Structure 1
Amino acid sequence: MFKNLMLYRLSPDWPQSAAQWEEAIAGEPFAECDAAQQKSSGWVAPRGDEHGALVETVDGQWIARFVIETKSVPGDAVRRKVQEAVDAIEKTSGRKPGKKELRDLRDDALIALLPQAFPRRSQVTVWLNPRTRLLVLDAGAQGKADELITSLVRVAGKGFGIGLLQTATSPQAAMAAWLADPEGDALPHAFNIERECELKGSGDEPAVIKFTRHPLQTEEVRQHITEGKLPTRLALGWSGRVGFVLTQALQLKKIAFQEGVFEDGPKTTDEDRFDADVALATGELGALITDLIEALGGEAATTAVSDQAPPATHAAPAAARTPVAVEADDGPPF
């Protein structure tokens, strides 16, 4: 739970309660892709129960879960099926298909192969602190976060406001200052620099230098900073309890709770494990986020995103649906 964090602020207008949030997202429940469907997304019970609550309240925090399922077809399989159809046409009619006919054959091949494609499913845990209006997404890719937010905007209706959390000092400027300080005094005491970093230069073809399992408070790293290379990722530790990688976009990645952190909580049965894990994780990460915002100069004004969501889409009949994208040849089988 909570391996990557994206941070947002919600306006105070919605939701007013966990029940209101659950009622809204119940309008977009998750359903598996049907045989000819490329993508499906929606909300599921965060506990994993088939008919459980869509929003759970644990220690004052609200938890939900969004699922995205996709299916795609490898390009090589499509090309083979198209070639089979082309060979059959040439054999029976003695002619070669034209460009338009080839496109139609390709679409037909995609539709025919899609039911055989294995679905890929990913999920995003959503944590909302109703007191601070902090919305946290456990998402490693911006596309997943955007799809989830689009769903939230759609179910909340007009007036819903959400924006990325912004700090007075950019993460990149702060990380550069921390790495450039030979005494280590620029970094707040709650944090420590670990052994992973990525530095990137400027220009059309910027140099990229990656350090892995390497001391970073060295003259070599400071020299790169002096030459104009700026950190895009930096591994940090917080209070000896949580390790993570901070990015220039104020995302927290590779979150790892240190040994013993989850042992501090009360002993629980398997039935209560969800509540215990959520309470401990949100408690630790909430304090970390507060310290991180302070380390970055405090919070700046939120940049709001549009509250106008695209209308809900419905699956079209298989014959009329736009064909799915074909996977690159070097991708997984399905």
Structure 2
Amino acid sequence: MWVRNACVFVLGEPLDAARLADALNKRPFQPCGGLNWFSEGWMPAAAHLEGMVYSARERHLVRLLREDKILPPAAIKKALAEKVATVEAKELRKVGRKERLALKEQVTDDLLPKALTKESSIPAFISGNWLVVDASSSTKGEGLASKLREALPPFPAALPRTKIAPHAAMTDWLAACAAPGGFELDEDALLKDGSENGAVVRVSRIDLTSDEIRQHIATGKQVVKLGLIWNEKIRFQLTDTLQLKRIQFLDVLQDEASQAGDDRESLFEATFLLMTEELGELIDALVAALGGLEQSQATPPKAAAVAAEPVETPWA
């Protein structure tokens, strides 16, 4: 239930819960069959729920399920070798490169329907103008946002662009030995030299206010990942692409959630509301610390809805 990573998208307009539920109910997950390598679709937001969307206090939880075929290259290689050997023995000739490629496609098509499968799911929640995807990579995050665009075209979700680039802000915070607002420096960071083949310095469990760290900054290195703690409630790593990694909800929140419900349903709702509220406030505070959103994303909802396409690389 607790989000571990966060790929954040800003929405151009508030989302209608009924429209979201109706759209996702029409696109349920279907098992990967035939010659398909993978299949994606929506599943109930949690194991004990039936609907594709779980909503509480205008916050919405969804979950995308993906099934991938597992077909090891060694299995294809073995089947291909057997096929080639059969053709050469039967026709008393050597199989050429072009024919071998065609045979490889043939044996792959033969094996695919019998391949084992692996399932993985990605949860995400929508709160206000934020879409937060619990994914460890931007590719997976964008994948879920794309599926929402298919279900709810044009679904105006875009990567947030702040007035201050995250790497510039994080470098300044580390140089000043302090982060703004309710944030404080943790004990880990990743610094990179700006040159093409620049050095990378990874530090962990170290005092980030030490002279050693400031010396790295003085030599031109920039911070691309920084450990932070927000309001003594949430520990996380901020990246230069505005992703939140290794999120830990600290004991004060865990205890508060555990005391909020007596059964599975009430505990689930209390945890969901607490998590989305705290993480939403963290994202708001983080964006504010980065100077706020650029004007194009800070316009009123109806005007912002026109700019629905995501930005591939912010702060380029």
* Shorter-chain TM band: 0.7 to 0.9
1:127-276 equivalences in 2 (<5 Å): 127-129=125-127, 132-158=128-154, 160-182=155-177, 184=178, 187-265=179-257, 266-276=260-270
Aligned residue identity for 2:226: L
String of CA shifts for 1:235-273, please: whole Å, max 9, x gaps. Answer: 111111110010000010111111231211313312333
Residues 302 and 152 of structure 1: is their aligned pair in 2 closer, same or farther, counting only changes over 3 Å? Answer: farther
1:210, CA displacement in angstroms? 0.8
String of CA shifts for 1:162-188, please: whole Å, max 9, x gaps. Answer: 211222211111110011114x3xx12
2:98 corresponds in structure 1 to 100
Would you say 1:296 and 2:296 are equivalent positions? Answer: no
* Identical positions, percent: 31
CA–CA distance in structure 2, aligned partners of residues 20 and 9 of structure 1: 19
CA–CA distance in structure 2, aligned partners of residues 123 and 99 of structure 1: 40
Instruction: Choose from 111, 114, 117 the match for 2:112.
Output: 114
2:300 corresponds in structure 1 to none
1:327 corresponds in structure 2 to none
String of CA shifts for 1:156-212, please: whole Å, max 9, x gaps. Answer: 235x42211222211111110011114x3xx12411111111111123322111112
With the length of structure 2 as denominator, give the TM-score of the two structures: 0.88
1:215, CA displacement in angstroms? 2.0
Q: 1:66–1:148: 8 Å Cα contact kept in structure 2?
A: yes
Q: 1:268–1:276: 8 Å Cα contact kept in structure 2?
A: no
CA–CA distance in structure 1, aligned partners of residues 7 and 248 of structure 2: 16
* Unmatched runs of 5 consecutive residues or more in structure 2: 298-306, 311-316
CA–CA distance in structure 2, aligned partners of residues 305 and 232 of structure 1: 27
Q: 1:262–1:280: 8 Å Cα contact kept in structure 2?
A: no
Q: 1:165–1:302: 8 Å Cα contact kept in structure 2?
A: no
With the length of structure 1 as denominator, give the TM-score of the two structures: 0.83
More helix by share: 2
Q: Could you list the structure 1 runs, at least 4 aligned residues long, displaced by more than 4 angstroms after superposition.
A: none
* Unmatched runs of 5 consecutive residues or more in structure 1: 308-334
Would you say 1:40 and 2:34 are equivalent positions? Answer: no
1:76 corresponds in structure 2 to 74
Q: 1:19–1:55: 8 Å Cα contact kept in structure 2?
A: no
1:295, CA displacement in angstroms? 1.4
SS of equivalent to 1:215: coil
Q: 1:6–1:251: 8 Å Cα contact kept in structure 2?
A: yes
